[in-house]
Amino acid sequence: MRLIVRRNDLEKHAGLISRFEKSGWEIVVR
């Protein structure tokens, strides 16, 4: 699974995104 985030969303939702990463998601920053 892949989660696509914008760079400014990455800063706003850092905690949430790291949880996605821990559950095996691939994080793609655009």
**pTM value surpassing 0.75:** no
Rounded to an integer, the average pLDDT of 8-25 is 96
- Chain-centroid distance of CA 4 in Å reads 7
Confidence of residue 26 (pLDDT cuts 50, 70, 90): very high
Overall domain count for the chain: 1
Domain carrying residue 29: 1-30
